[in-house]
Amino acid sequence: MVARSFQVHHNDSTYGVDYDTGDGLEVFKIQIFSLTSIPPDEQKLIGVDENRVLSDDSDLVAISEKLRLVSINEEQQEKSTAENDELLKSDEELARMLQAEEEALLFQQYAVPEDNGKFEGRVGPYVSQVLMYEDLQRQEAARKTVPIEELEEKALVSLAKEGNSTPSKNEQDHAFLLQLLFWFKQSFRWVNAPPCDGCGKETVFHGMADALPSEIRYGASRVEIYRCNFCPIGSRFPRYNDPLKLVETRRGRCGEWANCFTLYCRAFGYESRLILDFTDHVWTECFSQSLGRWMHLDPCEGVYDKPLLYESGWNKKLNYVIGIAKDGVCDVTKRYTRKWHEVISRRNIITEPALSAVLANVTKDCRRGFTSQVLSVLEDRDEKERQELESSLHSTDNASTSLPGRRSGDKEWRKSRLECGSDESCSLSGSSCPVRACVDKHVTEIHNAFLPILSHFVKEKYPKSRAVEVLETLKGILVDLKKSPFKTRRATINSVSQSLVHQLLPSFTELLNALSMSGKADADGRFDISLAGNAVKTSLALPVALDALDDTINNLNICDNFVEDSLCLPLLKLNRIHSGSVLASGEEIPFGIAMSAFDGLRTSKWEEPNGARGCWIKYKVSDNLMHELVAYEIMSANDAPERDPMDWVVEGSNDGESSWHLLDKQTSQIFDSRFQRKTFKISCQGFLSNVFRFRFLTVRDVLSTSRLQLGSIDLYSRSS
């Protein structure tokens, strides 16, 4: 027995309890009953430090000395009261909003002047603008600049990572559109002040100038002049409106970004709109056949399907948001607000009935000459969208998703526009994330495939330098394969490597199988490697194999004695647990999601925006199979060493997460380099778990960041 002193807090009182832990939880509850009069079967004890409920299996020796007592009856009563209060509050809030909306509409009738063409004059030029996107020459020029096959591959891989290996045409189109957005974000350049045309150094704004004929040709009615502080040349920055020119220059601010990106969307056949925000922003909407609705895409921010970004993230005071397409215009403001009663009070250019009439007339002109069948389809879609916009007005926001302030543009410029928002970290993050399935069986297969290769080296007594040379040759072959077109991927082994490959082919077969590839010698003695299965599986696996090769070469180089006994962790990574599901305390969307911790790739990472002072990630084994964890590895991410985990504990559970068993604890861990892997052996033997939890307690520099990030976590079980 272990004598311990606990501090049990209940309501406004704290009770000191001295207890011999070997007597069990039930006796402990009886002792608390004598102090609080709460029956044992109505007690819920929570460890303050761990924030977890104590169960019969809880280790009373290891738990926090500070406990919180909650009466189950009191908790249920409080929950019921809170739910009723929330419902009452929601009803009152809705009534208040409807009343404010009615008052704003009534005020608008008297305060807003009659329509004098001002609104139509604001929208009209954009109606002409979007017709440029239908020009076949412009579309072809845009398509020629896009690495189409690369984006197709990325789209299919992204679907495969979600477990969708046989996507429909609509799903593929949707995924390709997102990859097009991400590519555009990386390939187009934001201009605060252009670099000097003479010396390339920084410039400062010096005023406006008349456009030259060559600039007017591409719609540049405004030209900004910038002075260089180092040479007399300076720079001109024409604000081109013709997307054909923007495809060439690939630079600008939000107007140029949205203008050019919408052309790209039309070039690949997506039904698209240019979205004009009267409070000075422009973006794109595309109709997603996969979602069955219009989807928001902001190329400047690289954000999609987050229409509340501007109101909730940027703190914009919206008034009019108008969608402009080749077949009509639409007031889509309601998609971008949950404060319609406030927005409508700022709509002071035109009354609502007059606005509807103007938009209807412009749309009628746009659709002049359309067949009755096409008109019927468009009108049906218009009505569905109208209903969707109305229903979305009073929907509940997802409070778990944090929308960032503006990220594009100079920081001082963003501040001057009051668009920085409240999120200083400028990220799209989730304070809670969904359970995500790990599609990573191929990672385990690739690690296992190194066993016959390394075993062959040991059996044939290869010196370490020779083994490294062979692996470097293999890496070169895989690099060539990765560079080849993904649908017809193949590589031919050159004469220098042929004898080597023939000699080692039996040991390489398992790796080729893991890559869905096969090797074959032709009549001339050349050795060809080509696809033997699903091309997407190969695309998914090749980057993993290359990272694994780099890691194996590194571990082999630092191996003191390359013999059979060295064929274990960290050199050889057998019995890696895979195909489970993951849940985390938070994640970065879309490039730092929790699933990325288990995908075997250096290019991805899990990032917890609020994890610097504590966060967690849980891995649940597939089919609830029990595993004895014997080791795990953690890899540092690509950047920001201050975000590296430093202190953590690893726990396992086998009872539905009612209790957790401590498996490992680490403190003051420092990752010396990026993509550095550290291997940790489990000293606690014999405990079987089907859920593993990492509780990260602090990062390397908690004073300089709010974030935690890591490149990967790999779990290894005892062989059966």
Q: In 3D, which of 160, 149, 189, 156 has the Cα closest to residue 174?
A: 156
Catalytic-role residue among 254, 300, 438, 615? 254
Task: Report how far residue 514's alpha carbon sits from residue 533's, in angstroms, rounded to the nearest whole number.
Answer: 10
Between the alpha carbon of residue 606 and those of residues 453, 548, 594, the distances in Å are: 31, 19, 5
- 259 phi, psi to nearest 5 deg: -60, -50
**272, 284 Cβ separation under 8 angstroms:** yes
Q: Which of 281, 447, 578, 627 is catalytic?
A: 281
Would you state the structure tokens that stand for residue 230, as one six-digit string? 């180092």
> How far apart (Å, rounded) are the C-alpha atoms in residues 144 and 142?
5
DSSP annotation of 697 = E
Active-site residue among 173, 242, 277, 298?
298
Tokens representing residue 218 in the block:
């591409």
Alpha-carbon span 691 to 657, nearest angstrom? 7
254 catalytic per annotation: yes
Segment (H or E) for 691: strand 691-699
Q: CB of 328 within 8 A of CB of 378?
A: yes
d(CA 539, CA 553): 22
Beta bridge partners, 13, equal 10
- How many helices, marked H, and strands, marked E, lie in the chain? 18, 34
CA distance 420 to 404: 8
284 - beta bridge partners? 274, 297
Give the whole-angstrom CA distance, residue 392 versus residue 311: 14
Q: How far apart are CA 181 and CA 301, in angstroms?
A: 10
Neighbours of 483 (CB within 10 A): 9
Secondary structure letter of residue 11 according to DSSP: T
Number of Cβ atoms within 10 Å of the Cβ of 320: 20
Phi, psi of 499 (to 5 degrees): -60, -35
Chain-centroid distance of CA 220 in Å reads: 36
What are the residues whose beta carbons fall under 8 Å from the beta carbon of 505, sequence distance 6 or more?
A: 519
End-to-end CA, the chain: 35
Concerning whether 366 is annotated as a catalytic residue, the answer is no
DSSP-derived pairing of the beta strands 401-402 and 429-430: antiparallel
Catalytic residue list contains 281: yes
Per DSSP, the three-state class of 712 is strand
- Rounded CA gap, 423 and 283, in Å? 21
- Measured CA to CA, the distance from residue 181 to residue 272 in angstroms comes to 13
Contacts of 302 (CB under 8 A, 6+ apart): 181, 182, 185
Least Cα distance to 23 among 3, 5, 52 occurs for 3
Residue 385 burial (10 A CB sphere; 0-12, 13-18, 19+): middle
Q: Tokens 């940790």, residue?
A: 680
Residues that are catalytic: 254, 281, 298
